[in-house]
């Protein structure tokens, strides 16, 4: 009873060998097509390698460092002048944890960086105009009536046209998606890495530097906003008291000049009032100056620091597709694609027979 099973197995194996031989013969008969496909693929790969531009990558790493604050003292000073509720540095949730990564990739920050004025080869211009030139967007826009001659002359968004707003948005979105990479070096560390890839080496370097500069300015301004406001209020109050003190001192001197030689005690009362006013304003001004200096010192202690650890240095690392690699990859790809279509073709022909 085992003999038929052995015979069936032998027949199946034989058929399998025959089918494999048939497929081999079929592919052998189509060798010209397969060879031509591989050759075309190799040539296309070589052509792609010639046209593919070199990509330069600027890498920068930094850390956010907050200095110690002394908000209680500053709050008490503010309370003396009716400024209750004003404390020291403001805690910015946007700068904590993963929020910082998303903030660095925000459209707001990328657009603000693109609108930065930079000096390259002795010429000052907005960074976005350089992006437009090296990507030859101005030439592409020459065929579009509403974009012909479009250029950014200043960073004032209130003066932008609808086309400028649209172009700025499209460029910033493209940079966020394809060119700018933000990553935290280690979850346990506060070091953040920025990578900017571009076909323009200078743009990649300058954009990464301007991006961290923009972040630093915004970070410091946000974290010290309340403290700076408090310093300004104290400064304004001190200036006001100083003006009143100067006026009182001149008034006292003027009264003395006009009433020299008077003997009656009643005539001396206005002079005493002026002297008391001068003394009171002098004491108040002294306290204001002391508190103002304390507020300034506290602000300096609270001001956070963006510490750059590594910054891009020319020449930047570059990535270019090798000609040989492009030829081999494209040839192999076309080879297997051709085999796939030949298999489908043969199976279809066998079915319709």
DSSP assignment of 26-45, as one string? Answer: HHHHTHHHHHHHHHHHHHHH
**Dihedral angle sign, alpha carbons of residues 63, 64, 67, 68:** negative
Residues of the chain above pLDDT 90, percent: 22
Give the Cα separation of 284 and 241 in Å (integer).
8
124 to 116, 130, 151, 154, 211: CA distances (angstroms): 10, 10, 14, 11, 17
Give the Cα separation of 272 and 275 in Å (integer).
5
Q: For all residues of the chain together, what is the average pLDDT?
A: 78
The first and second tokens of residue 50, run together, are: 């010639």
Q: Residue 327: its pLDDT value, please?
A: 82
Q: Give me the mean pLDDT over the 109-116 stretch.
A: 94
Beta bridge partners of 306: 64
Greater pLDDT, 298 or 88: 298
Q: Are 189 and 62 in contact (CB under 8 A)?
A: no
C-alpha of 196 from chain center: 10
What are the pLDDT digits (tens) for 182-236?
888 777 667 889 999 999 999 999 999 999 888 888 877 777 767 677 777 777 8
Give the Cα separation of 291 and 295 in Å (integer).
6
Q: Where are the beta strands (DSSP E) in 141-294?
A: 180-184, 191-198
Q: Residue 14: its pLDDT value, please?
A: 74
Q: Residue 199: its pLDDT value, please?
A: 92
Q: Residue 134: its pLDDT value, please?
A: 92
Greater pLDDT, 177 or 82: 177
What are the pLDDT digits (tens) for 146-176?
888 898 998 888 889 999 999 999 999 999 9
DSSP class of 310: E
The first and second tokens of residue 28, run together, are: 């052998």
Helix (H) or strand (E) holding 2: none
The pTM for the full model equals 0.62
What are the pLDDT digits (tens) for 45-70?
778 777 778 899 999 998 876 555 44
What length is written for the chain? Answer: 353
* Res 339 pLDDT > 80: yes
Beta bridge partners of 318: 56
């Amino acid at each position: 009873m085992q003999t038929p099973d052995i015979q069936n197995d032998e027949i199946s194996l034989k058929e399998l060998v025959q089918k494999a031989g048939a497929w081999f013969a079929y592919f052998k008969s189509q060798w010209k097509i397969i060879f031509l496909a591989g050759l075309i693929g190799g040539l296309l790969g070589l052509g792609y390698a010639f046209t593919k531009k070199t990509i330069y990558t600027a890498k920068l790493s930094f850390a956010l460092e907050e200095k110690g604050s002394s908000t209680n003292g500053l709050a008490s000073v503010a309370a003396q002048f009716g400024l209750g509720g004003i404390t020291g540095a403001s805690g910015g949730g946007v700068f904590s944890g993963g929020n910082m990564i998303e903030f660095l990739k925000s459209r707001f920050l990328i657009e603000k960086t693109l609108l930065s004025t930079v000096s390259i080869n002795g010429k000052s211009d907005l960074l976005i105009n350089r992006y437009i030139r090296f990507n030859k967007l101005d030439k592409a826009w020459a065929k579009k009536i509403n974009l012909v001659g479009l250029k950014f002359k200043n960073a004032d968004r209130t003066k932008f046209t609808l086309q400028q707003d649209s172009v700025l948005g499209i460029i910033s979105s493209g940079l966020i998606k394809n060119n700018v990479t933000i990553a935290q070096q280690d979850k346990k560390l506060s070091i953040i890495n920025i990578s900017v890839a571009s076909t323009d080496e200078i743009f990649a370097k300058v954009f990464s530097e301007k991006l961290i500069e923009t972040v630093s300015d915004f970070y410091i301004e946000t974290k010290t906003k309340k403290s700076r406001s408090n310093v300004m209020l104290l400064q304004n109050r001190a200036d006001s008291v100083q003006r009143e003190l100067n006026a009182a001192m001149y008034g006292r001197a003027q009264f003395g000049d006009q009433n020299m030689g008077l003997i009656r005690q009643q005539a001396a009362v206005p002079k005493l009032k002026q002297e008391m006013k001068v003394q009171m304003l002098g004491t108040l001004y002294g306290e204001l100056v002391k508190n103002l200096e304390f507020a300034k010192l506290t602000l300096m202690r609270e001001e956070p620091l963006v510490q750059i650890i590594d910054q891009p240095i020319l020449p930047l690392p570059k990535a270019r597709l090798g000609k040989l690699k492009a030829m081999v990859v494209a040839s192999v790809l076309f080879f297997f694609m051709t085999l796939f279509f030949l298999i489908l073709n043969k199976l279809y022909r066998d079915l319709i027979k």
